[in-house]
Amino acid sequence: MANEQYIVGLDVGTTKIVAMVGRLTEHGKVEILGLGKTDSVGVMRGQVANIERTVQSIKVAVEEAEQKTGIPVKVVNVGIAGQHIKSLQHNGIRTRTNSDTEINQKDIDALIEDMYKLAMLPGEEIIHVIPQEYMVDNESGIKEPIGMSGRRLEANFHIITGQIAAINNLVKCVRKAGLEVSGITLEPLASADAVLSNEEKEAGVVLVDIGGGTTDVAIFQDSIIRHTAVIPFGGNVITEDIKEGCTIIKGQAELLKVKFGSALASENQENEIVSIPGLRGREPKEITIKNLSHIIQARMEEIIEHVYYEIKNSGFEKKLIAGIVITGGGSMLKHTNQLVEYITGMDTRIGFPNEHVAKGQEDVSSPMYATGVGLVLRGFQALKAAASDEVKQAPIAAETEIEKPIVTGHSDPKKQANWIEKLLEKTRQIFDEDAQ
């Protein structure tokens, strides 16, 4: 697939699984050729809870994408989220033997390599190591130290960790569906690529991806990711609240939320009423839109308060000139951006995944497709990086390079490959044992 310049993004979410096929146009933008979408029945709060059900859902989504595009899907770029994802800040120091020689990429790689030696809690693994800024001989605020001279090289790092078991289960599901994993990307990073402009990232912006099971937060400032967090509830909790508050079944609650839901009760009239068919010949139930909105607003306020806490906790609250961008399925509720502005006092807009996407055969303009589009974009970034490495390190066997999985979004390609190869090897062993 990589040789044909097609990338498949696989978004394994709590409410839906999306397989999205894209290609690069001659103008450098991504065109989405087709997608397959199905309900997700084996995932809870971003994590795989039932292997077999998740495998079946992945197969359905991928088969639909294959039928629409006529392209056989064998390799996918997978997104990972869930409440097991954590982040931390850490400072690294490296003393160079010769202060007269220029700092080169090897010095940077060695500094990053040191970060992987940090002691993690049992069962946790570092996924991404993202440099924030560098310091050379106490001169701070350096973005690119290569070419400078100095003895003491320091850097602040944003480190993202996840549970090995959760990652392993996700990879196992993809492999059981007959697919190979080309890369694993943290979903907020993928969504950010799809909906944020470079200017927003430089000015300072908060991405809020309201999914079905989780709400992901990513804060950018000066074009660097500064803070990430996963809030362990999203749109599904709102549906449950409607189900309990209106004493109706879950399917009706979801339809009510999507068709009539509003995040601001004050925007609805008292006399607006919707009738819900009764079960098995029972009388229909009448629900006022205003009461429905009160239920939704209460839960949305809770989610936004958690987001606002993360913004304040990051220490960048006063530096976010571009405000907040909300995306994901939960952002499609009416008046959500007004409620976010009211609670946080920050400018807010809805993020549509059209920042780097050419108009293609499939309409992916809805915020619910932000992660899928971002995974395709990240896949092409990884291809470009791999091609650049091949040029620098030639001659290298092409077959070997294609086989090497890449954890996109990582700062050290060699470490990415080693980490994911070890994980995939473990998964292959489990998969083989199951097959036997």
Q: Where do the structural domains in the chain lie, given as residue ranges?
A: 2-83+164-196+355-435, 86-162, 199-351
Task: Check residue 225 and give left, alpha or beta (phi > 0: left; psi -120 to 50: alpha).
Answer: beta
Residue 413 contacts residue 128 (beta carbons within 8 Å): no
Q: Under CATH, what is the fold of the domain 199-351?
A: Nucleotidyltransferase; domain 5 (3.30.420)
* 205-210 vs 6-12, strand pairing mode: unpaired
CA distances (Å), origin 93, targets 139, 155, 158, 326, 412: 13, 7, 15, 36, 17
Residue 208 CA to residue 323 CA, distance in Å, equals 11
CA angle 328, 331, 332 (to 5 degrees): 105
Yes or no: domain 86-162 corresponds to CATH 3.30.70.3270: no
How many C-beta atoms lie closer than 10 Å to residue 286's C-beta?
A: 9
The matching CATH number, chosen from 3.30.420.40, 3.40.50.720, 3.30.1330.30, 3.30.310.80, for 2-83+164-196+355-435 is 3.30.420.40
CB 80 within 8 Å of CB 375: no
Q: Which backbone phi and psi does 38 adopt, to 5 degrees?
A: -145, 160
The CA R_g of the chain, rounded to the nearest whole Å, is: 23
What is the CB-side half-sphere exposure of residue 158 using CA atoms within 13 A?
19
| Separation of alpha carbons 53 and 57, rounded Å | 6
Strand-pairing partners, residue 161, are: 86, 126
412 SS3 class: coil
pLDDT at 171: 93
> What pLDDT score was predicted for residue 407?
41
Torsion of CA 393, 404, 220, 164, to 10 degrees: -140
Q: What is the pLDDT of residue 406?
A: 37
pLDDT of residue 254: 93
CB–CB of 210/189 below 8 Å? Answer: no
Confidence at residue 399, expressed as pLDDT on a 0 to 100 scale: 31
Q: What pLDDT, on the 0 to 100 scale, is given for residue 398?
A: 33
Residue 290 confidence (pLDDT) = 92
Residue 171 identity (one-letter amino acid)? V
Of 214, 170, 148, nearest to 76 by C-alpha is 170
Q: Do domains 2-83+164-196+355-435 and 199-351 have the same CATH topology?
A: yes
**What's the confidence (pLDDT) of residue 55?**
95
Per-residue pLDDT of the chain (436 residues; tens, 9 = 90+): 444 588 999 999 999 999 999 998 887 788 999 999 999 988 988 889 999 999 999 999 999 999 999 999 999 999 988 888 888 889 999 888 888 888 988 889 889 889 988 888 888 988 888 888 899 988 888 888 999 988 899 999 999 999 999 999 999 999 999 999 988 888 999 999 999 999 999 999 999 999 998 999 999 999 889 999 999 889 999 999 999 998 889 999 999 999 999 999 998 888 889 888 877 778 888 899 999 999 999 999 999 999 999 999 999 999 999 999 999 999 999 999 999 999 999 999 999 998 788 876 778 889 999 999 999 998 888 887 777 655 555 443 333 232 333 344 444 444 555 555 666 666 566 556 655 5
Task: Find all residues with CB under 8 Å of 227, minimum gap 6, and list them.
Answer: 87, 158, 217, 218, 219, 310, 313, 314, 316
